[in-house]
Amino acid sequence: MLTDLAQIDPSRHVLIAGPTASGKSALALELARTQGGIVVNADALQVWSCWRVLSARPGPADEALARHALYGHIKPGQDYSVGHWLREVAGLLAGGQRLVITGGTGLYLSALTEGLAAIPATPPALRARADARLAAEGVGALLAELDPATLARIDRLNPARIQRAWEVQAATGRGLAAWQDDTPAPLLPLADCTPLLIEADRDWLAARIDRRFLQMLAEGALNEVRAVLPIWQPSAPWARAIGAPELVAHLCGDCTLADATMAAQAASRQYAKRQRTWFRGRMRHWHKIARP
C-alpha cells in the first residue's frame, strides 16, 4: 500500500486507475503540479466534447494549473476507439514529457500496458447490422454465435464488448480471442512507469457518487443533455455517459427529475462496482492507494 506520494519517482510516467468518483483527477493534478507532467485522459467518456459536466472532466481552473491532454476533443458522431487513443498517447510519449495518465476505462489502461491486437476496423454496414440484431434479438443471440475461446473470456454482462466480439468474428473470420493472442508488445509496460490504483471503501464511494451527481445537476448537466437531444442515439459510444439516458428520459417526459436522479446514481454505483471487480482481477501488481 502506497501511503507517501513523495515516494513516486518524478522522472517516470505515472498511471492512475480507480473507480468513478474516487479522486483520480485530483491526484493526477497534484502530481503534475508538484512534480511536473501532462495530465492525460484515460476515460472513454471524457474524450467527448459534449460531456464536460456529466463526465466530470477537469474544469478550467484545473487546466490552468497543469497541461491536460485528450479531454473533450472528439465530437459526437466521430469515430473513436482504444486504437485511436493509443495512437494519440504514442504521440505524447514521443514528445518526451512526463505523462500522468488517469482514468477509469480499464480497456484503455490494459491496452497501454499489455498491448492491443491489430484488429481491422468493422465495416459500417456490419456495425449497423450488429446494432439492429442487438436491438431486435438481444445480447444472447450474439453470444450464441461467438467461438468457444472468446466465449470463455468475454464479460457476459457487457453488451458493448459482446457486440464488438461478434463484429470482429463476422468481419475477419477469426474470433476475438485469437486476435488477442497475437497481441504485439505494449506501448508502456508496467515496468517502465509507476502504476497506481485507488482502492475506495464501498460506502464512502457510494456517498461521493450520489453527492457528485447532485453537483453535476447544479452545474448544468441537464443543459448538456438537452443540447444533444436532436442527435441522441442510445447505442452511440458517446451516449453511454452515466446519467445521460436517465436525463434524456426525464426531458422526454418519461419520468420525474427525482426519479432520473436516483436511477443515474444507482447506475453510477453499479458502474463503480464493475470497475472495482475488473481492477481486482487485472491490476493486482499496481501500487494501491486507500481512500478515504
pLDDT of residue 6: 81
* Distance from C-alpha of 187 to C-alpha of 86, rounded to nearest angstrom: 8
Tell me the pTM: 0.86
Q: What is the pLDDT of residue 192?
A: 96
Topology alike, domains 5-117+186-200+283-291 and 202-275: no
CATH architecture label of 5-117+186-200+283-291: 3-Layer(aba) Sandwich (3.40)
Question: Domain-by-domain residue ranges, the chain?
Answer: 5-117+186-200+283-291, 124-181, 202-275
Check residue 69 and give its pLDDT.
Answer: 98
Could you please state the CATH topology (level 3) that the domain comprising 124-181 is classified under. Histone, subunit A (1.10.20)
Separation of first and last alpha carbons in the chain: 13
The pLDDT assigned to 4 comes to 78
pLDDT reported for residue 94: 97
pLDDT of residue 118: 83
* Sheet order of strands, 13-17 included: 68-69, 38-41, 99-102, 13-17, 193-200, 287-291
Residues of the chain short of pLDDT 70, as ranges, are 3
What integer pLDDT is reported at residue 2 of this predicted model? 76
pLDDT tens column, 207-262: 999 999 999 999 999 999 999 999 999 989 999 999 999 999 999 999 999 999 99
87 phi and psi, to 5 degrees? -65, -35
Rg of the chain in Å (alpha carbons):
19
User: Using CA of residue 91, residue 95, residue 96, residue 99, what is the dihedral sign?
Assistant: negative
pLDDT at 117: 86
For the domain bounded by 202-275, which CATH number is listed? 1.10.287.890
pLDDT at 120: 84
